[in-house]
Structure 1
């Protein structure tokens, strides 16, 4: 059995993992060790992992059932692997701070992202710790936020103006819109395993705080978006081809830096289903 070497990247978030091949089934001990490391560090990075879509799917499945994205394209023979292929003719839409798929009632537990094609420079991804951001708030603001809920909307990150252009894409978009109406999640989420509190609003999908007037909601969300992105709560990863990142989507946000255009960047993602936030 291999022995995992886990090297933290910052006090708040991020660690590099060595001593495991993600293309092979995990031993029970290694699965437990990765789960523990994920809970502690929130995002794990693995170098030199040339996984196929099937191997990436099978690795992610060891941590839960997988989501099939309703809008992004996927690998035809492995629909659980979505394809993020961005370039001058398909501009990025994930260059904002967001938590994946918070427009469903059970947002993902986590995600596994593999780098397939990279630009000569640029294309980094940043992750932010919602727990570190919450812990740094004053007790009075923490108490206020814990009683609030926020509306999340699929269409904020996937507007019809971009994703419903052709007749076929319009039908797909409208079907997704009907299946995923606006819904509410708590502004502060409790991690179901660790019990730690985390900010759970994000620029990508959050529309408003339900219990506040519009101007107060807008001002408070603007503060929280800026707060979670403070450098001391974040880690920045400079990708190499065949790198893999595995993150806890319940308590993190991430931002894909779109500084590489017109060069091309291709990433594969598997998304692990989660539970209802509380």
Structure 2
């Protein structure tokens, strides 16, 4: 029998097209799976973002509806007004002059408290600023900031505050409500005279201002001013020159002693006060 020629076949070569096709299919599946996973994740993110936006819109809308409902309801009407920070003013009068009514909405005064502050400051020189606070839904608290008190001016048998801006307080106070640490201005019948002397007083060093007990607006000469000091001395000066001369007070006082009249009007000298002068100036 004749020999037949045997042809060798490489299985891998014969299978390679098939294997390559399978590999391509697997790679395509993986790519498709990755793309599908990416699209799915993006869809979830968008859905979550949409839910959050809707939640925010619903929350804001809910708050707005509740706020609007509160505003138009009687709960938003002013139920009471409390005054704080102005012990010498009469609360009922302050409320009446504020223009606040029971039918008003509390938050109208919170949002427009500048107008309320201006209205009360025009009525009361003592008031510098007013801040409005709401408590328990519909109760107003007016926190009043008063202007500093420089001293007091005698008003008959009562006294009025002299404020830092030079204006006079609206209320006459009994002696029991006068701050004894502040100086008393007496004998001032004209606002111009008080303004000049107040300007001079404010120009003094702070430590000397704290020692002044009384200023007299009824001196014997027009440009003269008289100061009664808490240490028992009396200072006489000229309103145009005393600002510069007051720095010599402590040195002169050390030599003059207690209950002396220190004259800085023309030059500088001192002498003991007479019994009549002590009585006139309320020095004991």
Same-fold status (TM-score > 0.5): no
Give TM-score scaled by structure 1 length: 0.21
Give TM-score scaled by structure 2 length: 0.20
Larger Rg: 2
Of Structure 1 and Structure 2, the greater strand share is in 1
Of Structure 1 and Structure 2, the greater helix share is in 2
Which protein, 1 or 2, shows the higher relative CO under an 8 Å CA cutoff with sep ≥ 6? 1
